[in-house]
Amino acid sequence: MRAVLLKAQGSVETGDRLELVELPDPEPGPGQVRIRIHACGICHTDLHEVEGDLAAPRLPVIPGHQIVGVIDALGDGVSGRLLGQRVGLPWLYSACLECRYCENERENLCEQGRFTGWHEHGGYAEYVLAEAGFVYSIPDGFDDLQAAPLLCGGVIGYRALRLSEIRPGGRLGLYGFGNSAHVAIQVANHWGCESYVFTRSEEHRRHALELGAVWAGGAQDDPDAAMDASIIFAPAGPLVHDALRALDRGGTLALAGIHMSPIPEMDYQLLYGERTVRSVANATRRDARELLELAAAIPIRTDVETYSLEQCNEVMRRLKRSEIRGGAVFQIS
């Protein structure tokens, strides 16, 4: 199979970090399925991994964790009914299913959790192996390219909305407007919320307004309204100050990224008034199932730019420069 390998971490602006190679087709072990990949979304987490913001637990590794494809081989102990099904594989590759977190449907916090494209080879390839209990049926209303961004950007955006405690009809602030935010705003619209988008990119502001934002501007601009809840998608710690200044009393600020630059020291008054700041750590299987069902019901429409595996280094540089509108997806098969 063709696959993209990350062999050494470093800045994508100073050199190509990814290499397209040929590897043996993987064979599923007990409890596993093999997915013939049709599309794999490209996530900001992948960029953090490539550049070393997240230390890779194994190298070389195939990145990618927004995977859509068809199950074409089964390991021992897996039901034959799965063969031929179109499924998605997200960031959460597996969990122990026995610890106190897993027993309470919080497997996103499992200390034995393993993640796709990080601990295990991911989706920048023609095939990937997956644990049978951690793949998800893709609704019929989505083609492969549209579905891929839902598998992480969508699921994390949905969990961030839940943890922000935004209520129907509330005012929601979104900081950064990439893949996750462009899905989250559609869920917020469905809940009757007013969305205010804070981003540096003029193109991203236009995109936000097209998708129903009531206001779009910079992080330090005044929207002339206090947010009931906000989510920071951009990995910039100083945005916490800006978001707290715009957050109403009793509001919650959710930090949706797996990585963020240091948060500067702040005056207590920014937090006072029972404001809450909380992180979003991965997502659960329930989050994935609920988001896919909701995406079909709304229905959510993802905006995607498609790339070939040969363009792996180019798309990483575009992602770093915030030049992607919506989500970027490798079209593989």
Give the pLDDT confidence score for residue 75 in this predicted structure.
98
Give the pLDDT confidence score for residue 275 in this predicted structure.
98
Contacts with 31 (C-beta within 8 Å, 6 or more apart), sequence order: 75, 76, 77, 78, 131, 132, 133
| 167-203 exposure pattern, b = at least 16 Cβ within 10 A, e = fewer | eeebbbbbbbbbbbbbbbbbbbbbeebbbbbbbebee
Bridge partners, residue 255, by sequence: 232, 279
Instruction: Give the Cα separation of 196 and 212 in Å (integer).
Output: 9
Indicate if the pLDDT at residue 43 is higher than 90. Answer: yes
Contacts with 106 (C-beta within 8 Å, 6 or more apart), sequence order: 284
pLDDT tens-digit series, residues 213-229: 999 999 999 999 999 99
Closest residue by Cα to residue 248 from 165, 181, 320: 165
| 271-302 exposure pattern, b = at least 16 Cβ within 10 A, e = fewer | eeeebebeebebbbbebbeebbebbeeeebeb
Question: Cβ(46)–Cβ(91) under 8 Å?
Answer: no
CA 16 to chain centre: 23
Give the pLDDT confidence score for residue 104 in this predicted structure.
97
Domains of the chain with bracketed CATH = 2-152+284-331 (3.90.180.10), 154-279 (3.40.50.720)
Please report how the helices 285-297 and 179-190 are oriented relative to each other, as an axis angle in degrees rounded to 10: 60
Q: What is the mean pLDDT of the chain?
A: 97
Indicate if the pLDDT at residue 1 is higher than 90. Answer: yes
Confidence class for position 191, pLDDT limits 50, 70, 90: very high
Closest residue by Cα to residue 332 from 314, 317, 311, 318: 311
Question: Cβ(198)–Cβ(204) under 8 Å?
Answer: no
pLDDT tens-digit series, residues 302-311: 999 999 999 9
pLDDT tens-digit series, residues 307-331: 999 999 999 999 999 999 999 999 9
pLDDT exceeding 90 applies to what percent of the chain?
99
| 131 φ, ψ (degrees, to nearest 5) | -75, 130
Give the pLDDT confidence score for residue 333 in this predicted structure.
76
pLDDT tens-digit series, residues 249-292: 999 999 999 999 999 999 999 999 999 999 999 999 999 999 99
Give the pLDDT confidence score for residue 262 in this predicted structure.
97
Mean pLDDT of the 70-75 span: 98
Q: Count Cβ atoms below 10 Å from residue 313 Cβ, excluding itself.
A: 17
Residue with tokens 């997502």: 283
Bridge partners, residue 92, by sequence: 115
Give the pLDDT confidence score for residue 315 in this predicted structure.
97
pLDDT tens-digit series, residues 17-32: 999 999 999 999 999 9
Residue 106 exposed, middle or buried by CB count within 10 Å (0-12, 13-18, 19+): middle
Which helix (H) or strand (E) covers residue 129, if one does? Answer: strand 127-131
Give the pLDDT confidence score for residue 95 in this predicted structure.
98
